Amino acid sequence: MLNVDISNLWDGLTLQDLLAKEKDVFAAHKLLKDGKGAGNDFLGWLNLPVFEDTDEMRRIKNAARRIRENSEVFVVVGIGGSYLGPRAAIELIQGQNHNLTGKGPQIFFAGNNLSTRAWQELCALLEDKDFSINIISKSGTTTEPAIATRALKWMLERKYGAEKAKERIFVTTDPVKGALRQMATEEGYETFVIPPDVGGRFSVLSAVGLLPMAVAGLDITELMIGAAQARRDMDIFSFENPAWLYAAARNLLYANGKKIELLCCYEPSFKYMAGWWQQLFGESEGKDGKALFPATAEFTADLHSLGQLIQQGERNLFETVVRFAPTRKKTQIEMDWKNLDGLNYLEGKTLDFVEEQAFLGTLAAHTDGGVPVVLVQADEICDRTLGELFFFFELSCGISAYMLGVNPFNQPGVEFYKRNMFHLLGKPGY
């Protein structure tokens, strides 16, 4: 089971300070479990993890098989919670260069920006390629994916004809409401459901994440088993629950002047997981003038950019470091007779060994420098571990936000920029 290590937390804080949070964590977890807290009509994510395939999972697997057979490229259209989860999962498991491996369709993401350059680049990549699309939007009205959808739909219709194009358009949206649901029904597209009681940033374990993951070759049954196991393991009301430790530690640090949480990982393929985490915590907690600022860093790369600030800048941050168990397959550093690079002292050592020393050295340096470190230790990267990690962060977020006293499941602030943009664009009603 995933483990949270708080032994490097102390920066003038004691274990007693953390244990003193027990009543608050208990109350927050209970609010979540009993469905009595703010936003309690959005708790459906708690029940998404399952041990066995559901009908929806079987339909997802069937659609994924067809897409893998007839498409060289799969375009996933969505933004925010309808985008980051699938991208995070695919990159963590298949690696950042998954599109170059030739295993299954290339996966591109669209509808998450308004950049003309990005759009034109995608169009060029799609030229002469057989492709399918998955439009993901719960509301069905979000501008960025709506614009991409309109254009991709036309491209498919021009290429395959209106009828054949329908077999290449997959829609993931609300079961009843919204423009996208209406479009899918009228046009006869295959649809998958975002349950009404699951908000975007908590939707990765629904069809939102599962269809793109299955197309990318992830084992979604394994992923769900990992999440379901985590749900069972973390259904305990004590500090043996890693979600309790994490939620308590970050709230304690926040109350003691640490206003920034830096999520760090030594795996480059974790980049979008960090992005998913950033949205999860940022959008869930950042309201009512409160919240830790969720920042991210990739080590060791960012030790050569942010490292200086972390070590000696304003003492207003702490780190949460996600560690995975080492891979079974090892890479060794070779002997070089000339030793011109002076690296022979590492001859025969594994890359893992060097990475571990970098981690330990950094941990000691940063804690010495007054940066508390929370360690999240997970098993080797695989579908199951990923499912566990997704559920762990979601549960921790729900508990942590209730501890902070905010509604984790709304995002009223996001509307402000939209209102201005719609007014400027001349959208009717704005």
Which active-site residues does the annotation give?
283, 304, 418
Q: Is 407 in the site for ligand PA5 (CB under 6 A)?
A: no
Segment contacting ligand PA5 by CB under 6 A, of 199-207, 210-218, 232-240, 355-363: 199-207
Question: Among the candidate windows 41-49, 94-102, 123-131, 198-206, which touches ligand PA5 by CB under 6 A?
Answer: 198-206
Does 134 engage in binding with ligand PA5 (CB under 6 A)?
no
Among 139, 143, 344, 377, binds ligand PA5 (CB under 6 A): 139
Is residue 372 involved in binding ligand PA5 (CB under 6 A)?
no
Q: Which of 142, 241, 296, 396 binds ligand PA5 (CB under 6 A)?
A: 142
For residue 295, give Cα distances in angstroms to 75, 279, 320, 345.
Answer: 28, 10, 10, 36
* 201 part of the interface to ligand PA5, by CB under 6 A: yes
In 3-state terms the chain splits into helix, strand, coil percentages (rounded to 5) of 50, 15, 35
408 binds ligand PA5 (CB under 6 A): no
3-state secondary structure of 373: strand
Comparing CB distances to ligand PA5, the nearer of 138 and 258 is 138
The SS3 of residue 167 is coil
* H-helix or E-strand spanning residue 160: helix 143-160
Q: How far is the CB of 29 from ligand PA5 (least distance, A)?
A: 22
Query: Is 304 in a helix, a strand, or coil?
Result: helix
Residue 191 near residue 376, CB atoms below 8 Å? no
Among 199, 209, 286, 398, binds ligand PA5 (CB under 6 A): 199
Helices assigned H by DSSP within 35-104: 55-70, 84-94
Asked if 200 is part of the footprint of ligand PA5 (rule: CB under 6 A), the reply reads yes
Contact between residue 381 and residue 392 where contact means Cβ atoms under 8 Å apart = no
Phi, psi of 51 (to 5 degrees): -85, -25
CB of 77 to ligand PA5, least distance (A): 10
* CA distances (Å), origin 353, targets 225, 302, 357: 31, 20, 6
Nearest distance, CB of residue 45 and ligand PA5, angstroms: 11
Of the candidate spans 195-203, 316-324, 381-389, 422-430, the one that interacts with ligand PA5 by CB under 6 A turns out to be 195-203
Instruction: Annotate 15-47 with DSSP letters as a single string.
Output: HHHHHTTHHHHHHHHHHHHHT-STTGGG-GGGG
Distance (Å, whole) CA 115 – CA 278: 22
Please report how close the Cβ of residue 41 comes to ligand PA5 at its closest, in angstroms.
14
Q: How far is the CB of 381 from ligand PA5 (least distance, A)?
A: 25
**286: contact with ligand PA5 by CB under 6 A:** no
Question: Binding marks (x or -) toward ligand PA5, 68..97, rule CB under 6 A?
Answer: -----------xxxx---------------
In one-letter notation, the amino acid at residue 341 is D
The residue (of 135 and 262) whose beta carbon lies closer to ligand PA5 is: 135
Which residues in 131-164 are b (16+ Cβ under 10 Å) and which e? bbbbbbbbbbebebbbebbeebbebbbebeeeee
Determine, following the binding rule CB under 6 A, whether residue 138 of this chain makes contact with ligand PA5: yes
Query: Which residues sit at the interface with ligand PA5, rule CB under 6 A?
Result: 79-82, 137-139, 142, 145, 199-201, 283, 411
